[in-house]
Amino acid sequence: MARPVVILDFGAQYAQLIARRVREIGFFSVIVPFDTPLTEIRRMGAAAVILSGGPRSVYDDGSPLPAEDLMASGLPILGICYGMQAIAHLLGGDLVPAHTREYGRVTLATRAPSVLFGDEEGERTVWMSHGDTVQSPPPGFRTTASTGSVPVAAMEDPARGLFGVQFHPEVVHTEGGREILRRFLIHGAHLSQDWRMGDAIAEGIAAIRRTVGDEKAMVALSGGVDSSVAAALVERAIGKNLIAVFVDHGLMRQGEGDVVEEAFTRTFPSTFRRIDASDRFIAALAGVVDPERKRRIIGELFIEVFREVARGIGDVPYLVQGTLYPDVIESGTSQAAVIKSHHNVGGLPAELGFKLVEPLRDLFKDEVRQMGRELGLPAALVDRQPFPGPGLAIRIVGEVTRDRLDLLRAADAIVREEVETEALAQGLWQYFAVLPGARSVGVMGDGRTYDEAIVVRAVTSEDGMTADWARLPHGLLDRLASRLVGEVRGVNRVLYDITSKPPGTIEWE
């Protein structure tokens, strides 16, 4: 297995983006808490360390700092934003609260020669988000970049393998940011690009075999990209000992349950089984309006149904889930607040009755798609838009009922049809309808109506961690409004969501 680039998380908004960029360059990366001991970092086989940004000041009481012995460990280290300030603070640099705080795009002047910037000397646009400022670097460091208000915007001590940048090279707004990370890893840390998806597949298969052995495992299939790729990977590892189970919770899109059954009956002809539990899920959600409670109910009921299936089969100790890294982060970690409890992470009951196998837990969505292609899954499955495990329950604000599900299914089918007809689907991350639970007065057929609004949501994204609202053509929006009001009984108003993530999330609940 490739030696990882270890990212110490100081509560950064962009820690996951750093991990993605490092992997894109060709190095395996993992994120761990800021206070991970050096002994543990060495046990992981760290090839280099990156200190993330964070919202705190190094002068705050109880401010997070890395292990004291990390700076003298000999490991190559890059500090980003707060990470650079931590390096300066620990090694004797002059760090002060900034008179002028920098947020957003800033012009950076670089100085040559530099490991991170090469022989390029001049100006570039970078993305800043900081309060404290390094006035002078620690002994042994050289200043390699500055801005109009920050004298030390980058610093380096190549002899000790220590580097720092006050800006964020991991965001797309920073010119040449990926190249800066690449230069740190190749020229600063002297590493060779050694991580490929093929290696991840081989390592994943080997890990599954070590864990499951000759025992049986059940995969929770939803028909989405994540569970499908997880199933394909585990099937490579244990063959017919994998039992594929699709629990139809009645919260799917129009006709989707039949599509899933048709696809996986071919893939797993001897072990696939579809369980119709729609009545149970809808009954359990009756009267529930809190989104977190919805997710917990769905997660717990999924496990209950899987337990029943396992008892019918015999001894099935393992449950395979298509959990991804963004699921884990949004459900809350030691350094990240709970954004929403994913049904397969924060929504799980304390006592599962299974040992979990989550072979995709450290991967981002785009990496999972790549793995699916290399495993030979069809493009129609690998490239489909993400669909949440709790289904339409979290696209209905308020109580989930059969009537509201039927209304939303009809609306969502129109949104998907029109977007795909416009040939825009391939460039979008997700596009769907939401039932926000808002009624308004309308006029239809010379009569007064008091009906539901439908929100159309379409976003672009690379990995689902951040997203921007899609600029759909006005003609498409016009057709959507006309069809949704004209064809879906009970709808008299159409809205388009122009909120990015952050501050919003892609889903509404």
Q: What burial letters (b/e) apply to 241-266, b meaning 16+ CB within 10 Å? A: bbbbbbbbbbbbbbebbeebbebbee
Residues 6+ apart with CB under 8 A from 293: none
Strands 217-221 and 94-110: unpaired
- The Cα 93–Cα 78 span in angstroms is 16
Alpha helical stretches, state H, 217-273: 225-238, 256-267
Tokens 């998380």, located at residue: 9
Q: Which of 89, 102, 156, 170 is catalytic?
A: 170
* Residue 162: alpha-carbon gap to chain centroid: 29
- Per-residue CA distances from 11 to 27, 284, 380, 426, 427 (Å): 22, 36, 37, 33, 31
The yes-or-no answer on residue 342 being catalytic is: no
- The Cα 65–Cα 89 span in angstroms is 10
CB 293 within 8 A of CB 301: no
In terms of Cβ atoms closer than 10 Å to its own Cβ (0-12, 13-18, 19+), residue 97 is exposed
The yes-or-no answer on residue 168 being catalytic is: yes
The yes-or-no answer on residue 170 being catalytic is: yes
Structure tokens at 292: 């977190």
- Per-residue CA distances from 46 to 15, 32, 430 (Å): 17, 11, 36
Q: What is the largest CA-CA distance in the chain?
A: 80
Q: What is the DSSP code (8-state) at residue 140?
A: T
- The Cα 460–Cα 504 span in angstroms is 14
CB 58 within 8 A of CB 65: yes
Q: Which of 89, 130, 168, 249 is catalytic?
A: 168
**Count H helices, E strands: the chain?**
14, 19
3 state SS of 107? strand
Which residues are marked as active site? 81, 168, 170
